[in-house]
Chains A and B, each alone.
Chain A
């Protein structure tokens, strides 16, 4: 008899686990081959560009800035698999270094954007009233400036190191997330479980963190994945204009910007940085779409 009870309990535990948020998401994504592929490519790029440079430095004893005038504009060969640039630097190694900066900026800036966006959106949506009015005004003002113009001012003022760029990009891209979260919370806070928590005397902070936040995590996650892709585009655009990360620190954007003057010597200088940007952004967008399919309850059939 007692064995019987144990078995049923075990089953319930398993069932609950099956229904948990993350489990469901992982299951859904594992079934979606395109999303899985995007995730793998992103993972590969991230690992390669975060650990690649260390390996290059310590194992191969090659420095990223190793220039050699004799080896300029070499086409791809077995020695330099993606060729060399105008100073004879190996393009593959520079792409790894550039990827580290570009991806690091995208990851940190979207993390910052998500933190600010979720906090502002939660505060505005939950408290309403004057707080909501002020925050909504800030959001609508900021979002009625095409953000590239704001970025241009900001990067003109603070000569951008990667850290500064993360701050600027993060502070300028939380708006969309805040708006989504606010909208979601406006409908959430009228729901019974929130009313129940309020009736039980939970503090506002507790309700926001334990009851409301888990319900907005999914839309924030989708938004932040898409925005990471956009941030890669924006960062490379800024670097291309010469207003982003300054050379000699390589990023995919300023490598493209350099290549503008030298493409007649070697087309590989234009092709590869652009391909890396496109592939990475594409993967972020596909992942975002996949997450939306996995998480948005409206899509669940």
Chain B
């Protein structure tokens, strides 16, 4: 298992490199000069603009810029005045040493900005993961156990509707009902802004989390229920289940050991893609509920053309996703002892 994990982590390296290259090249293809937003004064001299361009390394070819972005430029000098002789020592450390660059907008390291936001995003996305998988597995199993009943039909219908509902619309409607009309829950944000002390208030936090958590959980519940139902129905028909029954094993034992364990396998593979959907979901839901997480950071950065932040967020999102895929593989290994790495 350990050696398999190490191998998988090494396999992820080219993928991460590919992601950095793709996002870098895409950003560089962007029309418009990133400098225009620095040179606020239209009468700024051409010299000072060029000075700034060379200082930021924007005069270099794309691949060279990519190289500096990856490994930094502290081992070389920057030719600021354009005379062919380097005169300033580089200061960037590069992605490989954890330096994601400076935010254009905030003048702060991108990594700090992102790390500030990660806890909020995790706080919003981890509970739906557990609620969604827990309820989805339960409901899917119940539906399969009572196949063809009214309950089953209802769940099948609801789970298709659940995947078709746009989550931002659902969020909007829940806000209108529960926050605007009934005024039971806060309209958005992460904590009550009226409170000045930054102490942690559990009730307040939960009140702010209820609506976004419901919206994010619903999509997961819907898709897990569908897959679980299909999976249980498939396993029930297998020969080993019939054998176990005919051996006279108790219903519960057959169910727990022979049916559930096998039916959960496909659900484990769903975990990775589910995480991707959840990450995308949080980007939009954070916007709907004004939740100060990575999603809001990236959307604001896009509007401000703050490319280092956009790239940093995409990269962190991709790494979180790859970790999700890894967890998915590990779960698979735990559930299925036939798999030997």
Determine if chain A interacts with chain B.
yes
CB–CB A144/B284 < 8 A:
no
**Chain A's nearest CB lies how many Å from the CB of B285?**
10
**Chain B's nearest CB lies how many Å from the CB of A165?**
15
**Which partner residue on chain B sits nearest A274 by CB separation?**
B169
The A/B interface has a contact count, at CB < 8 Å, of: 127
Please give, as numbers and ranges, the residues of chain B lying within 8 Å of A229 by CB-CB distance: 164
One of B14, B172, B298, B321 near A145 (C-beta < 8 A): B321
Binary B-proximity of A233-259 (CB < 8 A = 1, otherwise 0): 100110011110000000000001001
Size range of the chain B interface in the assembly: 35 or more
CB–CB B166/A274 < 8 A:
yes
CB–CB A137/B298 < 8 A:
no
CB–CB B279/A148 < 8 A:
yes
CB–CB A153/B299 < 8 A:
no
CB–CB A145/B317 < 8 A:
yes
Q: A146-B321, A237-B166 are in contact. Are A263 and B161 (CB under 8 A)?
A: no
Enumerate B2-32 residues with CB–CB distance to A below 8 Å: 14-15, 18-19, 22-23, 26-27, 29-31
**Which partner residue on chain B sits nearest A240 by CB separation?**
B168
Q: Please tell me if B35 contacts chain A, counting CB pairs below 8 Å.
A: no
Q: Please tell me if A180 contacts chain B, counting CB pairs below 8 Å.
A: no
Binary A-proximity of B299-325 (CB < 8 A = 1, otherwise 0): 100110100001101100110011001
Q: A141-B15, A144-B19, A278-B166 are in contact. Are A241 and B176 (CB under 8 A)?
A: no
Enumerate A145-169 residues with CB–CB distance to B below 8 Å: 145-150, 152-154, 156-158
Please give, as numbers and ranges, the residues of chain A lying within 8 Å of B314 by CB-CB distance: 145, 149-150, 152-153
Please give, as numbers and ranges, the residues of chain B lying within 8 Å of A241 by CB-CB distance: 283-284, 287, 299
A sample of 13 more A-B contacts (CB under 8 A), given A145-B314, A282-B164, is: A140-B15, A144-B322, A145-B321, A146-B321, A148-B283, A149-B317, A152-B299, A153-B27, A156-B305, A157-B26, A240-B168, A256-B166, A256-B168
A-B CB contact pairs (8 Å), 29 listed: A138-B18, A144-B318, A144-B325, A145-B22, A145-B23, A145-B314, A145-B317, A146-B276, A148-B280, A148-B284, A149-B283, A150-B22, A156-B302, A157-B26, A237-B168, A240-B166, A241-B284, A256-B168, A256-B172, A263-B180, A264-B180, A270-B176, A277-B166, A277-B169, A278-B164, A278-B165, A281-B166, A282-B161, A285-B160
| Residue ranges of B at the interface with A (Cβ–Cβ < 8 Å) | 14-15, 18-19, 22-23, 26-27, 29-31, 160-161, 163-166, 168-169, 172-173, 176, 180, 276-277, 279-280, 283-284, 287, 298-299, 302-303, 305, 310-311, 313-314, 317-318, 321-322, 325
